[in-house]
Amino acid sequence: MLTAFISRLATEIKYHPLIAPYMNVKKPIEQYLHQHEILALLSVRRPVRVLIADEIGLGKTITAIAVAKYLEKTGEARRVLVIVPRILLNQWITELNGMGINDAFDIERYNIELMKRRGFPAGYYIGSIDLLKRDQYIERISGVDWDLIIIDEAHKMSIKGSKKTLRYNEVGGKLVGSRLGLHAIFLSATPHKGDPEDYLSRLKLLDPLLGSPRE
């Protein structure tokens, strides 16, 4: 029993983000304490399902990639999907490269069928939310056994009254809301747009047990 405990403790220490932070891979990155605090908090949560709602400039992208690399190191994230607005694709690829992830697969119309035929082998994949929300594309990726899904600008998955957007239904619902054992990270600098129902609808994709705004 003692030997097993020591072995487990050694593993946790080896991979604990405050001891072995997965940053500064290629280029100097100014590290913020809150990024390490998030890693430390999430290192003991399973599954990792969280909304990171820092303001612009506080390193949400780097934090999410660091969490992904932590889960990769512990063997829990072999297949990672990153979903972003198209305008942010190049920025994300640059950040992934800076963190030592140089072989992320860019999902596009012309290659998604080939990726499906190959079975989406282990690795990092990145695609536009407005491409992937379409029926012919969401069906190709919703059947993939993803370990971690990261969605940037998560507030774009919204509802208006009883009407849910395609981004909410197709991307949020099919990829995250229906898979409660999946690791999922939402990122947004504007998580609350003044509508409590809209705000909670996104959180319920991560935790369906949340109640109404009054509750």
Nearest 5°: the CA angle 135, 165, 180 is 75
Give the side-chain half-sphere CA count within 13 A for 105. Answer: 19
How crowded is the C-beta side of 193, counted as CA atoms within 13 Å? 14
Q: Which of 14-23, 73-82, 127-136, 154-163 has the lowest mean pLDDT?
A: 14-23
Q: Phi first, then psi: what are they for 184, rounded to 5°? A: -145, 135
Model confidence pLDDT, tens digit, residues 164-185? 889 999 999 999 988 989 999 9
Q: What is the pLDDT of residue 147?
A: 97
Give me 12's structure tokens. 């946790």
> pLDDT tens digit string along 56-106?
767 899 899 989 999 998 899 999 999 999 999 999 999 999 888 988 999
For residues 90, 122, 71 and 38, what is the CA-based torsion angle, rounded to 10 degrees?
20
Residue 196 has pLDDT above 60, yes or no: yes
Q: What is the pTM of this model?
A: 0.87
d(Cα 124, Cα 105) in Å, to the nearest integer?
Answer: 6
